[in-house]
Structure 1
Amino acid sequence: MGEGRPPLVVLVADANPKRGFALSETLRSDSSLRVLTVPAEMALIDAVKLHAPDVVLVDMARADRDALDSIRALSQSAQERPIALFVDEDDAALMETAFDTGICSYNVVETPPRDVKPLLRAAIALYSRFRRTREELSEAQRILAERKLIDQAKRCFMKNEKANEAQAHRWLQRRAMQTSRRIAAVAEEYLASQKKDDLS
């Protein structure tokens, strides 16, 4: 890590205090890392909200339902962060469940490696990639839904006004410009007004 760069903030979560302490001490030997731990009485999501870490490192001998549920709650919240999981036993079913809960990096290690930075950075990179892909998918779905809405509004306008598609599109465009809104919003409003008229 280059000089002047802030340390990577790592939040260590482990239900076993002794193991968590040992891992934290190993990490603290690296001055490029700022290591924090989750107090036994604090929920993981609350600790993340308090400390805003760059990455969460979960170390456990055997992942149980409570631990995975806490990870799932974090990954589905506004406090979502990259999460790296350390386990001491390979388990294909556990790995699949872990990824489903939001784990970015699944690592089987009997003892923490001396240099965990590559693993932590891999978790952050994978998280960024997954998040970007998810956002791109969400945007594509939004665009598709808007196009469907506009096409539906145009068909309705064409039927009501005996207009062609170009005329319907121009009407929606003019209306959007006049009201400083997106065409999709105008289309949605138009369809709602037509539905209201049909019910009255």
Structure 2
Amino acid sequence: MTVLVADANTRRARALSDDLRADPSLRVLSVPAGTALIDAVRQHHPDVVLVDMGRADRDALDSIRALTQPALERPVALFVDRDDVDLMETAFDIGICSYNVLEAPPDDVKPLLRAAIALYSRFKRTRGELTEAQRKLAEQKRIDQAKRLFMKTENTTEDQAYRWLRRRAMQESRRIAAVAADYLAAHGQGDES
């Protein structure tokens, strides 16, 4: 597992990195001074990013927010030295999957990193399921709109309207939702989903 350690305090970052390097199963990299976090992630493609902040603030979280881009998205574990509910909620909103309040890094950080990766995987899977459900709902809405319009313009029943959409989709080897969207667009209805 490759771990990227990001901490503006070089002494603290070195101590944490040294603790992690004691485990031969971990490849530990540090963000060099003067290098942006996003650039380090692009360069090293870590499995997890560990951000240790003595006094985490919203400005510091902005650099982490950039990691929510699909090409860079990585699980991020955040270590702070004081409890701040607003900061914690902001951190979770931007995609941090492990928020840990510790005065000093624990001797064994691996369980926290594994938990961060597991939570990240679960979040990503749930987000994918939500996106798919929203896509299906939008498609069904489009189909229903097209059926209503077809029923109105052709003076047919709902069943006849659906059969027409389905037959056209089969003839064109396309999805019914795509045919419905084209039908709506051809009649000036556009995409209202």
Q: Which whole-Å CA distance do the structure 2 matches of 1:189 and 1:60 have between them?
A: 52
Task: Give the fraction of aligned pairs with identical amino acids, expressed as a percent.
Answer: 74
Q: Which whole-Å CA distance do the structure 2 matches of 1:95 and 1:64 have between them?
A: 10
Q: Which whole-Å CA distance do the structure 1 matches of 2:44 and 2:92 have between them?
A: 24
Q: CA deviation at 1:66?
A: 2.7
Match of 2:27 among 34, 39, 44: 34
Residue 195 of structure 1: SS of its match in structure 2?
Answer: coil
Q: CA deviation at 1:75?
A: 2.0
Does residue 128 (structure 1) correspond to residue 118 (structure 2)? The answer is no
Q: CA deviation at 1:65?
A: 2.9
Q: Which whole-Å CA distance do the structure 2 matches of 1:111 and 1:98 have between them?
A: 20
Q: CA deviation at 1:126?
A: 0.6
Question: 107-116 or 184-193: which moved more?
Answer: 107-116
Which residue is 2:161 aligned to? 168
Q: Which whole-Å CA distance do the structure 2 matches of 1:63 and 1:13 have between them?
A: 12
Q: Structure 1 stretches (4+) deviating beyond 3 angstroms?
A: none
CA RMSD of aligned residues (A): 1.3
Which residue is 2:93 aligned to? 100
* Deviation sequence 1:21-42 (CA, Å, 0-9, x none): 1111111011111101111222
Match of 1:183 among 176, 180, 183: 176
**What is the one-letter code of the residue matched to 1:23?**
L
Question: 40-49 or 123-132: which moved more?
Answer: 40-49
Unaligned runs of 5+ in 2: none
Unaligned runs of 5+ in 1: 1-7
Residue 185 of structure 1: SS of its match in structure 2?
Answer: helix
Match of 1:139 among 120, 123, 132: 132
Q: TM-score, normalised by structure 1?
A: 0.90
Q: TM-score, normalised by structure 2?
A: 0.93
Which residue is 2:11 aligned to? 18
Which residue is 1:49 aligned to? 42
